[in-house]
Amino acid sequence: METSLKIIKIKLQNIQKIFSWNNAIVGNTALYEISNLKVLRTVIGNLESLNLFENITKGLSNSAIFTTSSDKIRVQSSENTAIISQLKLLETLIENFLDVLKSTVPEENNDSINIKLPMINDFDELSKVSREIHLGLTQVIFNDDVNGQTRIISVENGSIWLNVLVGTTAVTVIASLTWSAAVIYKKIQEGILLAEQVRGLKVKNDSIEDILKAQKAETNVMIQAEAEYLNSEHFKDNVPENIEKIKNSISIFAELIGRGAEIHPALVAPENVSNLFPDPTKFLGLESKIKRLANPSSN
């Protein structure tokens, strides 16, 4: 479960308040002393629990700071330089990230409240719960004595993931649908790239239009083929109306993918199910399942 940005902001502010250390050369020796290690270990541990700045916290966790329970340690010059450099970088990253959070995560007003929605099973229930909250508040505070309001100040920034129960069979159908949509998304991206390249050649506008129309027609043919394939794989009857619905769903999901949407299997899904879904990081090399059937020797 992702940590709320509000919580991260508060914890980073608390970390920033205590994050400090002392560093000095020891007399006429070649040794350096680093102190306030107990605080440093606490800070690093807190950052690790938030999964922030992992490369740096991992390096510091493997440094001399964690080789003792004491509050200070003496190290050679080279090791001292490495540790202090990492601490200063961590300090800068915390400051910069906090600046971003302060500009994107609104401060809460004393006159505001936080509402955590109850468990939601479907979209109808979400609508019902929202209506109940609205009614429960407004019928009490919307009067001359209270002069209340219900204005939404902020919704949590960051990715919003929905886990939707769809059923055993539906998972495989959705996996196929997502794969086909990703194939079409890739085709659309190729068309956009082709259009840019053609315009760069400074050819006649009517020629460009002909190329774009041909590209669009080819994409539509692919959508039709993908829909017919899905229909043959998952449905018993070859009903034209069903194929049209599949075509529409492929187009919708291809557009959503283009806008940044992702569809994944459940984290606990077995590998044979997970492999049915396309990897969003490898769309450029994605091939249609139809092509795989035509070339069974390909990986």
List CB contacts of 114: < 8 A, sequence separation 6 or more.
108
Beta strands in the chain, from DSSP E residues, in sequence order: 22-25, 31-35, 72-76
Tell me, what's the pLDDT at 111? 65
Tell me, what's the pLDDT at 58? 94
Tell me, what's the pLDDT at 40? 97
Tell me, what's the pLDDT at 133? 72
Nearest CA-CA partner of 86 in 66, 57, 108, 112: 57
Tell me, what's the pLDDT at 208? 67
Tell me, what's the pLDDT at 117? 65
Tell me, what's the pLDDT at 136? 58
Tell me, what's the pLDDT at 166? 82
Nearest CA-CA partner of 190 in 207, 215, 166: 215
pLDDT by residue (tens digit) across 92-143?
A: 999 999 998 888 777 766 667 666 666 667 778 778 777 777 765 665 566 5
Tell me, what's the pLDDT at 157? 43
- Name residues of the chain where pLDDT drops below 50: 1, 145, 157-160, 296-299
Tell me, what's the pLDDT at 265? 85
Tell me, what's the pLDDT at 246? 87
